[in-house]
Amino acid sequence: MQGKVVVITGGTSGIGEVAAERLAGMGARIVLVARDKTRGEAALIRLRSGNTSLAHSVHYGDLSRISEMKRLAAEIAAAEPRVDVLINNAGAMFGSRHTTEDNLELTFAVNHTAYFVLTLGLRERLFTSSPARVVNTASDAHRGCKLNFDDLQSTRGYSGYKVYGRSKQIGRAHV
């Protein structure tokens, strides 16, 4: 991973944080996508303490909003001439149904739409870095869930775990 540029969503905690730290330890320069400035800055401090020669960075935005994902992709593309790896890792599960300002169910927006929009927005940087990789993290939560193309927005019979599982099932279909 020496000299590679890795963009990772959800790199401020959990699996994403561990992945970012391990990849940085292997010589990759990490570009975090975060929503919270306090957690983003703390993650940067941790990354920089491991290897002070790499210029890790962070970009902030709301993964539930299409306009924010487009803005973030453009911002990252303007700052990075190449992206060797894009790790779409951020995800969320909610106990009740919420819709975004784009009129999407919130879990679907964060766990699926954000991955698609960010990847599409960074495609030129990924092509430039060929053979680049896009990694969409998934979960075994998809097991036992059936994708309902007639209700992708989960308007009927909302269950947080079921909707989360469906969103991860969609992500697996792209891997």
Q: What is the DSSP letter of 99?
A: B
What is the b/e burial string over 114-135, where b = at least 16 CB atoms within 10 angstroms of the residue's CB? Answer: bbbbbbebbbebbeebeebebe
Cα 46 from Cα 69, distance rounded (Å): 25
Within the chain, how many helices (H) and strands (E) appear? 7, 5
User: Helices in the chain by DSSP H: which ranges?
Assistant: 14-25, 37-50, 66-79, 106-108, 114-121, 123-128, 160-174
Report the run of H or E that residue 60 belongs to, with start and end.
strand 57-60
Please tell me which residue in 60, 115, 161, 164 is annotated as part of the active site.
164
What dihedral do alpha carbons 9, 119, 100, 62 form, nearest 10°? 40
115 given a catalytic annotation: no
Cα 122 from Cα 78, distance rounded (Å): 10
Known catalytic residues?
Answer: 164
